[in-house]
Amino acid sequence: MKKIFYSLGIFLIIGLLGVGWYFSGLIYESGLNPEFTETESVGTAEDRVIVESITSKSIKLNVEEEQWGVMLENGIYGIIGQNGDAVIGKILNTNGNIIERKLLQINGSLVTGDRISGSAGLLLDEKTGIYKILGTSGWSGQATQGIYTPKSVVDIEYEDIFYQSDIGQFPAYLTSSGDNGVVIFVHGFRGDYSREVFAQLRAKDLMNMGFRSMIISYRNDRGLPKDPSGIFQYGVSEWKDIDAAIDEARKISENVVLWGISGGGGPVSSWIQNTNDISKVSGIIYEAPVISFWESVEVNGAARFPWLPQGLFSYFKIVTELRYGVDFDSMDFRDAVINSDIPVLLFHGDDDEWVPVEMSDLIAESRNKNFTYIRSENVGHVTSWNADPENYVLQMSVFLSSLK
């Protein structure tokens, strides 16, 4: 009997070591290695959303599987089929995986049985009152294949600029109009300034408020200088590039605002912690920010591998740190944001499966000065604008007007 127990114990230890080795490797490849491209192996699901029925006023969708999509979330979104597209709004009814939503407009043909994809990339034509959906035949948004610009997305003029950081030179877009200040957009995980459509859509709103947009790149972006560590640092070193971009923006205006989008929240928050002159920036806007990287690992892991016991993630953290020499605690900037007096406007949806809303909740509960928190119900990752476009733009305007 003792031999059996010993054998089972050895088997359990070997199994645990194997699981730790596997998932630490997965965390490194998918979350830390800038060269990783094989996303099929990280547990994502294929979306399957099919038109159940459609009338002139509503559409029913059969959401068979939509792990990262928006069809079950509040707000306005585009849907794209093979022969048509539409804009959908308010959720009218749900019955299992069948959801009925208000049909706001339709272009072309959508019929029962059509397989569709969802899009959060919408642009309201101010003259016609009609939404355009990014990625459709009528509006690809691309200047050339895979390249988006403020001109191609929202038809505003811009220039290509470069700024110098400690490890090299980085490109950025700078829109041409606006005398009130400069907003620097810091893209998220594995982002690319030339594909940062969210920032380019907001650039038009900012232009209407008198602000220029500077949409930047930074270390570890594809084809650009790499961090000496060879990994994504989630702000530990990237803040230096943000600081260099701020210095470049201040050549234009002393009123500079940082906007951290998703994974861009780390570099922005690290800048707060590391800068020797916080007054170089007037305020900060966050959209679903990663402020502690490990917290996001746990949320992503739970969504991608729901069958894993949550207690194992602490074990995976230790194995990853030992195996790759990573310090996840150094990627946690909660205290910096909480203890800072710099004005902050933070948007976050409570159904975010990429970045935990609990992190934003914690910061909101801990700060009582110069902090505005817009928390959207049943809204996902970087879709707070879709939840309520008018209020989103209003909050932007009120915040920027308050800065001095």
| Stronger pLDDT, 317 or 45, i.e. the higher one | 317
* The one-letter amino acid at 33: N
**334 three-state secondary structure:** helix
> Quick one: fold of 48-133?
Thrombin, subunit H (2.40.10)
Look at the block and give the residue holding tokens 């009609």: 130
State the chain's maximal CA–CA distance in angstroms. 81
Please list the alpha-helical segments (H only) found in 325-377: 334-339, 357-366
CATH topology of 48-133 equal to that of 142-292+332-402? no
Structure confidence by residue, pLDDT tens digits, 3-19: 554 555 555 556 566 77
pTM: 0.93
* 225 DSSP 8-state letter: P
- pLDDT tens for 112-136 read 999 998 999 999 888 888 999 998 9
pLDDT tens by residue, 72-90 = 999 999 999 999 999 999 9
Please, is 39 exposed, middle or buried when counting C-beta atoms within 10 Å of its C-beta (0-12, 13-18, 19+)? exposed
3-state secondary structure of 370: coil
351-383 pLDDT per residue, tens: 998 899 999 999 999 998 999 999 999 999 999
Mean pLDDT of 199-211: 97
Q: How is the chain split into domains, by residue range?
A: 2-42, 48-133, 142-292+332-402
Query: Distances in Å between the alpha carbon of 194 and those of 74, 157, 191, 217?
Result: 28, 15, 9, 9
Degrees (nearest 5) of the Cα angle 322, 324, 328? 75
pLDDT at 277: 97
- pLDDT of 195 over the 70 cut: yes
What gap in Å lies between CA 13 and CA 24, rounded to an integer? 16
Residue found by looking up tokens 């990280």 in the block: 42
Cα(372)–Cα(298) distance, integer angstroms: 26
Q: Is 279 left (phi over 0), alpha (psi -120 to 50) or beta?
A: alpha
Least confident stretch, 65-74, 277-286, 318-327: 65-74
| Whether 296 contacts 357, CB under 8 Å | no
Mean pLDDT computed over every residue of the chain: 91
By CB atoms closer than 10 A (0-12, 13-18, 19+), residue 247 is middle
In the chain, % of residues over pLDDT 90: 75
pLDDT of residue 1: 57
User: What stretches of 262-391 adopt beta strand conformation (E)?
Assistant: 283-287, 344-349, 371-376
Cβ-in-10-Å burial (0-12, 13-18, 19+) of 306 comes to exposed
Residue count (the chain): 404
- Per residue in 156-175, pLDDT (tens digit) is 999 999 999 999 999 999 99
pLDDT at 302: 81
Can you give the pLDDT at residue 367?
Answer: 93
Nearest CA to 344 out of 359, 363, 330 is that of 363
Please report the beta strands in 134-271, taking only residues with DSSP state E, as ranges in sequence order. 142-144, 147-148, 158-165, 168-175, 181-186, 211-216, 256-261
Superfamily of domain 142-292+332-402 in the CATH hierarchy: Alpha/Beta hydrolase fold, catalytic domain (3.40.50.1820)
